[in-house]
Amino acid sequence: MKNPSHLNQKGEAYMVDIIDKEETKRKAVAEGFIRIKESTSEVITNGNLDKGDLFGSARIAGIMAAKKTSELIPLCHILSISSINIEINIIKDNIHIVCEVSNKGQTGVEMEALTAVSVSCLTIYDMIKGIDRGAVISTIQLINKEGGKSGEWSRNEG
């Protein structure tokens, strides 16, 4: 196998060669939060947002973003994605976005899950900024991943 770093022998950035990596089932789950005003939560919950279906729009934007991750992150490989699931819920004064991405491939889908959550958050902010410009996107993070040489990892386990 080649150098697993994103730097070549000259210290220059390059795309890692994955040709010899084993194809395995892979899954990644990421999450993010948007802190909103209570009045914003009420508008969303009551279906009174002027811009339409907030969660549906954010879900589609996240799915599209996951599929385009290799175009956004310079050294990511183009992946065949098997599934993308995005769940969005309001918990008190927070909107919670969770994305699960899976595939069978030679490299993981962590960046796709994180990209989906990020763009879902940005889409929600765009749609609510007229009533809550102070909304705060925070804590976008990987929750767990499965597959590949390193196996399973969970934020709860360290």
| Domain map (residue ranges) of the chain | 24-144
Tokens of 35: 């802190």
Q: Three-class SS of residue 149? A: coil
Strand order in 83-91's β-sheet?
83-91, 94-105, 24-35, 136-146, 153-154
Give dist(CA 31, CA 57) in Å, integer. Answer: 17
Query: pLDDT tens string for the chain (158 positions)?
Result: 445 567 777 888 877 888 888 899 999 999 999 999 999 999 999 999 999 999 999 999 999 999 999 999 988 999 999 999 999 999 989 999 999 999 999 999 999 999 999 999 999 999 999 999 999 999 999 999 999 888 899 998 75
Concerning whether 50 is annotated as a catalytic residue, the answer is no
Please report where in the chains the tokens 């730097």 appear, as a residue. Answer: 7
Rg (CA), the chain: 18
Tokens of 149: 């040489």
Q: Mention the CATH class of domain 24-144.
A: alpha beta
Residue ranges of the alpha helices (H) in 30-147? 38-45, 54-67, 69-72, 110-128
Cβ neighbours, 10 Å, residue 152: 11
pTM for the model: 0.90
Q: Out of 20, 53, 126, 132, which one is annotated catalytic?
A: 126
